[in-house]
Amino acid sequence: MNISRPIFTLLALAASALLALPCRAAEPANPVKRLLVVDTQKTEPYTTITGAMLDSLATQGFVAGRNLEVERYSLAQFEGTASSIWKFKNGASFDVVYIAGTIAAKAFAPIAAEAPKSRFVFASVTDPIGLGLIDSFGTPPPRNVTGVSFPVPVKDRLRFIRRVMPHAHTIGLIYGDMPQSISYRAWLEQLLANDAEFKDLKIVYRSVEMVRGDNGTQRMAMLSAPLIQELNSQVDVFLAPNDQMGINPEFARTMAKNANKPLVGIIEPDAREGWGAAMNIYPSLPGMGLQAGKMVARLLAGEPISAIPAETPAKIGIAFDWKLIEHFGISVPADLVALSKNSAAAKP
């Protein structure tokens, strides 16, 4: 009896049955992740910080156009645009939402509270605690938000002025009427009122109206000119404000045209690239983007946000415009000269 043919027939029928089953597409080994990026403006510091964040993601294996889908928007300082972006782009469908700047963070704070399953990373935010985004730095985030703050601590900035200009007792601060500047002024006022180390210092404040739009900072700098002229004879030194007006070159250039007192800038190019500040102590913008990029990458890789505490800027630098230092007759301590050289040579 020949049994090979029945066995072959059975095998053929079994194969046919398997082929008839519906095919299920194989799951991709590395599914594409989605990142929503919202900057406060299309200006500095966000150009540098957000660019460094995206570059950092690429070095960690999340490459836009390959395994990462990035949608990027600017609020142009209009907070209401945030809710429109969230609604029409289905914000909850993104794996991570990255928000850069205080205005963007303020706009997204209520959105984050109403979307507890979404995950948010902020960068370049002056007062994330005051905005209710986090409770503290270096501790597990209790909510769905973490990130990197912007400013050098106010005490460090005043100590820097004291080291470089020990005889300066009156400081002029002209700022934009913006949330981050209001928080910064409150910190300065509290410090001078409660810390005996700075009891001999006086800060004279003036403010200009906030002008919205991506070109608003240029208009704000123009509005500051008469205030600079008013305070020039009253102060020993000017302090650049901790806001978009202070960060962009128009303010430092306006200061240079209208004052004969030195300006302490807020970001590296103010002094290093000759924008108009004589000196500054600054957070590294690329370094800040690198920190935020590491946080975003960890979230995209599946880590819980509770494992990623919020941070302050890890890299702080010092810069001088040596032509202006000589012009104002300032003697810089040797250790600060060395720190400035090290800051210039250091990588972010």
pLDDT digits 0-9 by tens, 178-216: 888 999 999 999 999 999 999 999 999 999 999 988 788
Write out pLDDT tens, residues 136-154. 999 999 999 999 999 999 9
Instruction: Give the model's pLDDT for residue 248.
Output: 87
Q: Pairing relation of β-strands 170-176 and 145-149? A: unpaired
d(CA 317, CA 67): 35
10 has pLDDT over 50: no
d(CA 162, CA 99): 35
Contacts of 183 (CB under 8 A, 6+ apart): 126, 127, 130
Instruction: Give the pTM.
Output: 0.81
Instruction: Give the model's pLDDT for residue 348.
Output: 63
Q: How far is CA 217 from the centre of its chain?
A: 17
Instruction: Give the model's pLDDT for residue 43.
Output: 87
19 has pLDDT over 60: no
d(CA 184, CA 70): 32
φ and ψ at 28, to 5 degrees?
-65, 140
Instruction: Give the model's pLDDT for residue 29.
Output: 55
User: 291 pairs with which residues across the strands?
Assistant: none
Instruction: Give the model's pLDDT for residue 217.
Output: 86
